[in-house]
Amino acid sequence: MEWYSISINELIHQTGCIPEKGLSSSKVKKIQKKVQPNELAQEKPPGIFSRFISQFKDFMILTLLAAAAVSFAASYLQGHADFTDPVIILAIVLINAVIGVFQEKKAEHSLAALKSMQTPETQVIRDGKRQTVPSRELVPGDVVYLETGCFVPADGRLLTCHGLCTEESALTGENGSIYKHCDAIDDLQVSLGDRKNCVFSGTTVVSGRGTFYVTETGMDTQIGKIAGMLSAETSPETPLTKRLNKTGKLLGIAAFAICVVVFFLGVHKNQPIFSMFMTSVSLGVAAIPESLPALVTIMLSLGVERMAKKNAVIRHLPAVETLGSASVICSDKTGTLTENRMRVRGCFCLGDKKHLAKLAVLCNDHSGPMEQALISFAREQQIQEDIETELAPRIFEIPFDSSRKKMTTLHKYNKEFLSVTKGAPELLLESSTSYWEEGTLHPMTASARKQFQKEAESFAAQSLRVLGIAYRQAPALPQDASLETDLVFAGLLGFMDPPRKEAYAAVKSCQAAGIRPIMITGDHRISAYAIGKELGICNREDQVLTGAELDIMADSELSRRLGRYRVFARVTPTHKVRLVKLYQAQGNVVAMTGDGVNDAPALKAADIGCAMGRSGTDVAKNAADMILMDDNFSTIVSAIREGRGIFDNIKKAIHFLLSCNIGEIMTIFAAILFGLPVPLLPVQLLFINLVTDSFPALCLGAQPPDNDIMSRPPLQSKNSMFHFGSVFQMAVEGMFIGSLALFAYAAGNSTMCFAVLSLSQLVHSFNMLSSRSLMATGVGLNKKLLFSVILCAALQCSVITFPALQNVFHTTALTAGQWGMVAILSLLPIPLVELEKRISRKN
């Protein structure tokens, strides 16, 4: 039933409610047996063990586990009992899983936060008496009392209302207090924010008092429906996860293919079958960059630390990169693009503003956003409220009422009486017989009244909430009825929740980076359009779509027309989730920012949810992947830049690792092809992959973003991490490195081959710093990479030089001449890649 559409008399007739008596205790017990408690259902979060097991679902991890199992079986069958390879691989996989559990763990506290928003105790009428009961024991049909400062414990229809005003922005997205009334609403298509004869669970009473009839409790309330959406909604797989899984599958298939080809090639050349099986397994292990999963996790963790210093706290590791891939940012208006604080943005009076500010201070209860805005306005005019209230103490008041649309206070002032009235301008103008101008009173003529009306309409056209202020001064104490007649009209004030100062530049930065900013708000169409236009999100009214218009559009039609809209107004949480999914269906990576309860389902459904840290509700924070601690929309631009930089660095690391692995495969494959003994042992391959490759790859993650990174379009989620040109580059670089190692093997021995393969890869890491020439960038920009190359080179030299390590890695000491040849060959990757970069730039 649409409770807002029926009158109180109809409600009493249909439900049998007796407001003065409420439900009987026996009736409550019967209802409690039929309905769930007035609380939100909460799912049990997965335990540590379940989270640990989930880390092994990645295809790359499964491939590594398979390689470890085969290597273990081969060593066992051979009778060597040398399990170094599988033990090292398993250790890497376990370390990666532990890092994933503790740094990638995403707490699912959304429902718990929603539950904590509900008040623990409530005052109700039962058995004809006013009594306090736990809010979880409320049932439909209860009559509940509301007073200033309390949480609303359930959804319901108002029965009585005395200046009742609620704050619902966290639920509806509409800024400002909502003044309530008890009258029926005829329109059957009323949005949540316009149901002003209803109250909703989890919202707050700002001022006034009243009673309401409970219509829904627990999971049936509006906040309960959001909780249901959160529990049903799953976070989408991130672009990075998709790309790494795809890369992992390709590597796994390639490794298997290499094993098969090498095995049959060796058998064809009359090599021992078991020996070739072991060699092919070693080569397959070499083809897979064992350290890649752990490297990616550590690089993301380093990104988390850097972003935390810039007020962006990441709660889900892949979100670091996902934000860099964002192509659409769906942003809530209130508290995200705007300050979530009413301010006076328009003032019209015929004289000094201070006179208007003094009156605004006197007729003020500090009870809502607009009244706080009036105090701020007075302070801007150098008016001190404590002095003004002392000079004119209040002796009487007529509180604001939504039916009267005005409020009046009476003060003793200079041995006279001063009444101040504020409210709807049209009502105050009707009651005014004069107006104030520069300290002089003038009769309120038709032309003067028309001028004030024109200014009020101008404010309204700018999406400002307009308030009129008038007063009356008399030597004798006036009667209550005459306080709001024969008024002197003082002026008009226009209010708005203004855009954040930095939001305009942030929106422009997003647009320059190829990211489409979209405003999705529960606020009215006019207000949403005004803010959107001021920020540069939209420039025409036909780019705004309302929730009511969304409801009558099928997904197919909306998807076809989605590109023309930039602002969505008067929307519900269901609308927000629908829009996020439609953008995702078009191949977009969607970021959703917000701060309210009503944003939580969409925050969770988006590829990356960004909640506000200061003004955001706990529900929004716990549903999000990232929290902006300074509530600054521009922080998201810095986070996008960082995310893009991290993705670039991950690409550089993978490019480096794969080109190096291709070099290792080339070395062994060519040796077998030409009938030579296998030049590298499994332990040497693992040393190269886990020591001399991994540390430089990790340090590539510290590379700062390129200067032009925010002028590039975002990478489409369906696109591969590497295009054909990149794969070709990796193949050429890898084959060149392999050729250098083979030359060292042919000209010298297996130790020289081992040294050249390792050291040339270390030198090759400098080529990954930038797509520009090293002559332009230098190698000292990334000091961590320089240090890691020096350290790894020292480790490589030590396993060749020290006798104890020679036995472990099966190496022999080299002469000075051999070391000279190793050094020359190891430096050659730099001139080759420099030539490759120059050709690429010309093309």
Task: List active site positions.
Answer: 332
Beta pairing, strands 406-413 & 394-401: antiparallel
Q: Which two tokens stand for residue 718?
A: 């369906």
Query: Between the CA of residue 640 and those of 22, 148, 307, 501, 710, what are the distances in Å?
Result: 55, 42, 10, 19, 8
| 20/126 Cα distance (integer angstroms) | 9
Segments of 169-264 assigned E as strands: 177-179, 198-199, 204-216
Q: Map residue 125 onto helix, strand or coil.
A: strand
Q: Map residue 703 onto helix, strand or coil.
A: coil
Following DSSP, what letter does each residue of 454-520 receive, concatenated?
Answer: HHHHHHHHTTPEEEEEEEEEESS---GGGTTSSEEEEEEEEEE-PBPTTHHHHHHHHHHTT-EEEEE
CB–CB of 323/608 below 8 Å? yes
Q: Fill in the DSSP letter of residue 318.
A: T
Helix or strand (DSSP H, E) at 744: helix 724-747
**Dihedral sign for Cα atoms in the order 702, 707, 708, 711:** positive
The CA R_g of the chain, rounded to the nearest whole Å, is 35
Token pair 């009585």: residue = 160
Q: Which two tokens stand for residue 391?
A: 């000079």
- Bridge partners of 495, per DSSP, are 344, 465
| 777/799 Cα distance (integer angstroms) | 32
| Residue 44 neighbours by CB distance under 10 Å | 6
- Bridge partners of 418, per DSSP, are 411, 473
- With CA atoms as reference, report the closest residue to 160 among 11, 1, 345: 11
Beta pairing, strands 567-569 & 544-546: parallel
Q: Map residue 181 onto helix, strand or coil.
A: coil
| 631/620 Cα distance (integer angstroms) | 13
| 70/78 Cα distance (integer angstroms) | 12
CB–CB of 375/358 below 8 Å? no
Token pair 């590039």: residue = 712
| 816/821 Cα distance (integer angstroms) | 9
CB–CB of 590/607 below 8 Å? yes
Q: Fill in the DSSP letter of residue 393.
A: -
Following DSSP, what letter does each residue of 23-86 receive, concatenated?
Answer: B-HHHHHHHHHHS--SS---PPPP-HHHHHHHTT-SHHHHHHHHHHHHHHHHHHHHT----HHH
Q: How many residues does the chain have?
A: 843
| 199/201 Cα distance (integer angstroms) | 7
Output 549-556 pairs: Cβ under 8 A, ≥24 positions apart: 550/575, 550/578, 550/579, 551/189, 555/582
| 247/258 Cα distance (integer angstroms) | 16
Q: Which two tokens stand for residue 236?
A: 């989408």
Q: What type of residue sits at position 288?
A: I
**Dihedral sign for Cα atoms in the order 453, 456, 460, 466:** negative
CA atoms within 13 A on the CB side of 450: 3
Q: Map residue 54 onto helix, strand or coil.
A: helix
Q: Map residue 395 onto helix, strand or coil.
A: strand
